Amino acid sequence: MSLQAVLPDTISGLLGLEGILGDVVGGLVGAFLIANIMLIMTAFAGPWAKRKITAAFGDRIAVNRIGPFGLLTIVTDAVRLLSKELIVPEGVDRPAWDLAPMVIPFSALLGFAVIPMGNGIQLADPETGLAFAFAAASIASLGIVMTGYASNNKFSLIGALRAVASNIAYEIPLVVTAASVVIFAGSLRMSEIVAVQAEPLLSVAGVTIPTWFAFVNPFAFALFIIANLAEVGRNPFDIPEAPTEIVAGFQTEYSSVYFVLIYLGEFIHIFLGGAIAATLFLGGPAGPVLPGFVWFTIKIWAFFLFTQWARSAIPRLRVDQFLEIGWKGMLVLSFANLVLTAIIVGVIV
Amino acid sequence: MPTSKDNPVSQSAEPVFRTADWHEREAYDLVGIQYEDHPDLRRILLPDTWQGHPLGLDYDQDRPQIATLREHANPLEGDHRSAGDSNTMYINIGPHHPATHGVLHVETVVDGEQVVDLDSDIGYLHRCEEQMCQQGTYRHQIMPYPDRWDYISAGLLNEWAYARTAEDLADIEVPEYAQIIRTMGAELCRIASHMIALGTFALDVYGDFTAIFMYAMRDREIVQNILEDLTGQRMMFNYFRLGGVVWDLPEPREEFFEKIRDFIDELPQALEEYHDMITSNEILQARTVGTGVLPPEVAKSYGATGPVARGSGIDYDLRRDDSYGYYDELDWDVVVEDGCDNFSRLLVRMREVEESAKIIQQCVDLLEDWPEDERNIQANVPRTLKPEEDTEIYRAVEGAKGELGIYIRADGTDKPARFKIRSPCFSNLQTLPEMSEGEYIPDMIASLGSLDIVLGEVDR
C-alpha cells in the first residue's frame, strides 16, 4: 500500500517507459537525482556553511573573499582538494584502504533511498523502510573500521576502536527509541509514519498542531537527538576523530580525493541523521505554506545547524565517560521509554 | 655543588628532589658534568649524536660534528621500538601533534587507551639562548633575547627577569615611575598569556576551534593592542632597559589610559562569560575535576612553580615572597586553589587574570597622577658594565608560567661568563608523567594543556 507514487514510477511514467526498462531507467534516474541533491547540499554544508556557522559562534567572519558571501569558496575548495596528491602510506592494507572512503558516503546515500522528502520525492517505500534506513546508516561504521584497520597507523586504530565502541553503545538506544515511534505509528513504512503524524493533535487559537511525535513524546525526541549526535560523531561525542587527542583518528592517513570522500560521507551522514529524525519525529516533509521538499530541507539543515552548535559550544567527553553514558544512561532510558510507550499505546489506543 | 675542572663528577640530587633529574641531565648535556647515581643520565636538549658539551670551557666550537650515516641511518629507530609485551602499544604523541603546543615529543606507552608510561622528549626548539646571552654585552645586547624564551605574549615578564638580575648585579636603582610602568606592562603580559593558556586548554578539551578559544583570542587581542601602543611591538617587545624602560607611555596619555580602563572595565563581563562557558559546564567539570592530580609534595619535589604549584595548593608567588618592582606597594592577592587537578589549575589562571587587572588598575591610577616633572623612566647606568670577577647572582621573577630565574657568573669583562636560565616550563613539564600515568590519553592531553608549557622556554 503506497500512499503516493514513488519517484522512479513517476519518472518512468513521464518518459512513457513500461515494464523492466521503465523500472531500471526510472530507478537509475531517480537515484541519480537524489544522490545529486544530497551532494549539492553537502557541497554547501562542508566548505561553506560549516565555516560560516562556526565563525558566527566564535565571533569571526570566515570566508567572504571569493564570490558573494564567499560562496565560490565551494568551487575553489573542490579544485584545491581534488588537485592534491593522494598519498598512499607504506604498509596500508589494500584494497580495504581504497574501498573504505567509498563505503562511508555510499552507505549514507543509500539510507536516503527510503526517506520521503515531500512532493513525491522518495525512491522506494518498502514495508521495512525504517529498518532499511538504520541498516544502511550503520554500514558507515564498517567503513570507519576499514579505514582504521587498513591505515596501518596507531592513531587510526584507536579512532576505529572508539568508533566501534560508540556505535555499539549508541546504536541500540537509537533504534530502541525509534521503535517507540513505530509502536505509535503501527508501521515501519516511512510514508505511513509520516502520514500518521499529519493528523491534528490539538487546536490552539485556530492553529492546529499536528501529531508530530516530537510533540507527542518529546522525551523520545530528546533521546533520539542525543543518540543521533553520537551516531554522526559530533561534539560532545566526537571521540572517534578527536583531533586534539588522536589526530583525527580514523582519517589521519587519508588525503586528497579519499579525504574528500570521507569528509563528504560524514556530512551526508549528518544529513541522513537529520532526515531520519525529521521523518520520525517532525512530520517528515510536512509543514505549512511552503512545499514539502522545502520543509524537508529546512528540517535537515536545522539538524545540521544543531550539530555545529554542539560542536562549537560543548566539550568532548572522555571515552570511558562517553560509553558509561551510553550503556548506563541512554540504554536504560530508551528501554524505559519503549516500555512506557507500549503500555500507553496498549491502554489508550 | 662545585666540582673540579679535571674530573667534573658530582653526586646526584635526584633521590632528594625529583626535579634534579632533568636539571642534571641538562648540566651533563651542556656543560659536561657527570652525576653519580643519576637514574638516567642522557642528553636532554641536544641530539644523541652530539659530540662534546658546548657550554664547557674546553669545548671547541670549530670542530665539525660528524655523525655517520651508517650508524644513524634511521634517527627515529628508538621511537619505533616495540613496547615489550604485547598488551601495550607504543605511540609517539608529537612532535607534530595538534595538542602538544609546539614541538614536544611525548613517547607514550598505552594499554588500550590508558597511559602506562610516558617520557617527554624535548630539545626540538633548542636555540642556544644561554650561549647567545653569554656572547652579548650586559648593557644592551642581552635584553632582546628574553622575549624569545616564552614567546607567547609573556615578553615583558621575561625581560624583567634579566633586568632584575643585571640590575642587582650592577647595583642599579630603578626609578619608581619606571617600576610602575614595568609592573603595569608585566601584568598586561600576564593577562595575555593566561588568556591564551585558557583558550588552548579549552581547545584541548573541546576539540577544534571552538567558541571559547575564539573568545579568549578576541579578548587577548585587546591586551595585545595596548602592549603594541606601549612598546611598539606585538611579540618581541624589547621594552625594558637596565635601569628603567626605553620610553615613556605613548602620547596622548589620556587616550592610552582610556584604552586600558575600557579593557579593565569590560574584563569582569568577559570572565563571567568564560565561567558560563567553561567552569560551570558540567561536561568540562567531568573532564577536569579529579584528573591530572598533582599532590603538593610531588609538585614541590619537581620544582613546579607558578599557576601549576598554586593549583596544587602551594602558596608561593615571587611577586609577594621575594618582592620586586612595585608589587609590595599595591593591593592584590595571591591566588591559590587546593584541588590539585586540571580544573584548579584552570581556575587559578582565571582568577589571576582578575588579580592582574586589579594591579593594572592601581598602576594606571598612580601613573595618571604622577607629576609631570618627575617622570623619570631611566636611571643613570654606565655605558659599559663590568661586574667584578667571580661575582655570582641568581634572581628570579614570577613569570606567566612560574619562577623564571637567571643565574649569572661574571668574569670581569662586559659579557657574562655563564648565563643560566631557570625556566619554569622546564620544571613544570617534568610533572607530566606523575599526572598522567594510569590516566586516559584525553586526560594526559588535558594535563599537558593545563601545564601551559611553551616549548621556546622549555628548550631555550
The domain that contains B168 carries what CATH number?
1.10.645.10
In which band, very low, low, confident or very high, does the pLDDT at B82 lie, cut at 50, 70 and 90?
Answer: low
**Which of B89, B98, B214 lies closest to A59 in CB terms?**
B214
Q: What is the pLDDT of residues A222-274, one digit of tens each?
A: 888 888 888 777 777 777 777 777 777 788 888 888 888 888 888 888 888 88
What would the pLDDT profile of B169-215 be if each residue is shown by its tens digit? 888 888 888 999 999 999 999 999 999 888 888 888 877 767 888 88
Q: Is residue B124 part of a domain?
A: no
In this complex, the residue of B213, B283, B442 whose CB is nearest that of residue A245 is B442
For chain B, the domain total comes to 2
User: Does A59 contact B211 at a Cβ distance shorter than 8 Å?
Assistant: yes
Query: What average pLDDT does range B353-370 have in this prediction?
Result: 89
- Indicate whether B133 and B64 sit together in one domain: no
So what's the ipTM on this one? 0.76
Quick check: is A120 in a domain?
yes
Q: Does the residue A78 lie in any domain? A: yes
By CA distance, what is A248's nearest residue in B? Answer: B98
Same domain, B70 and B134: no
Q: Which residues of chain A have pLDDT under 50?
A: 1-3
- B69 with B135, same domain: the answer is no
Nearest to B25 by CA among B6, B50, B51, B46: B46
Number of domains in chain A: 1
Question: What residues of chain A lie within 8 A of the CB of B213, using their CB?
Answer: 58
CB B428 within 8 A of CB B305: yes
Residue A129 included in any domain? yes
Residues of chain A contacting B109 with CB distance shorter than 8 Å: none
Question: What range does the domain containing A173 cover?
Answer: 7-344
H helices of B87-149, where? Answer: 129-134
Cell output for B202? 579549552
Tell whether the model's pLDDT for residue B309 goes beyond 50. yes
Please check the confidence at residue B80 and state whether its pLDDT lies above 70.
no
Average pLDDT over residues B33-38: 85
Domain of B402 in residue numbering reads as 129-459
Under DSSP, is residue B448 helix (H, G, I), strand (E, B) or coil?
helix
Cis peptide before A236 (omega within 30 of 0): yes
Residues B56 and B163 in one domain: no
**Min distance B217 CA to chain A CA atoms (Å):** 10
C-alpha A237/C-alpha A240 separation (Å) is 8
Instruction: Assess if residue A2 is contained within a domain.
Output: no
Where is pLDDT greater, at B13 or A104? A104
For residue A276, the distance in angstroms to the closest alpha carbon of chain B comes to: 27
The residue among A101, A34, A61, A111 whose CA lies nearest residue A257 is A101
Instruction: Answer yes or no: do B208 and A321 touch at CB < 8 A.
Output: no
Find the range with the poorest average confidence among A42-56, A148-162, B81-95, B339-353: B81-95
Q: Do A238 and B286 touch (CB under 8 A)?
A: no
Average pLDDT of chain B? 85
Note whether B294 and B378 are same-domain residues: yes
Q: Is residue A121 part of a domain?
A: yes
Quickly state the pLDDT bin for B76 (edges 50, 70, 90): low
Beta carbons of B207 and A314 less than 8 Å apart: no
Give dist(CA B361, CA A223) in Å, integer. Answer: 49
The pLDDT value given to residue A1: 36
Q: Which of residues B42, B59, B75 is at a domain's end?
A: B75
Contact B68, B44 (CB under 8 A): no
pLDDT score of B289: 87
Residues B135 and B70 in one domain: no
Helices A129-150 and A154-185, axial angle in degrees (round to 10) = 170
Q: Is residue A1 part of a domain?
A: no
Asked whether residue B188 falls in the same domain as residue B300, the answer is yes
Residues B255 and B350 in one domain: yes
Q: Which helix (H) or strand (E) holds B417?
A: strand B416-422
Contact between chains at A318 and B440 (C-beta distance less than 8 A): yes
CA A150, CA A157: separation in Å to the nearest integer?
9
Residues B229 and B331 in one domain: yes
Residues of A in contact with B89 (CB under 8 A): 154
In degrees and rounded to multiples of 5, residue B10 shows phi and psi of -135, 175
Same domain assignment for residues B55 and B133 = no
Question: Chain A, 174-213: which have a CB under 8 Å from a chain B CB?
Answer: none
Q: How far is A145 from chain B (nearest CA, A)?
A: 16
Residues found in chain A: 349
Residue with cell 586526560: B443
**For the residues of A14-27, what is the DSSP string, one character each?**
HHT--HHHHHHHHH
* pLDDT tens by residue, B232-286: 888 888 898 888 888 888 888 888 998 999 999 988 888 888 888 888 888 888 8
d(CA B418, CA A30) in angstroms, rounded, equals 79
pLDDT at A2: 43
Q: In terms of domains, do B302 and B435 share one?
A: yes
The verdict on residue A349 lying in a domain is no
Among the listed ranges A273-287, B35-49, B86-100, B396-410, which one has the minimum average pLDDT value? B86-100
pLDDT in tens, B125-156: 888 888 888 888 888 889 889 888 888 877 88
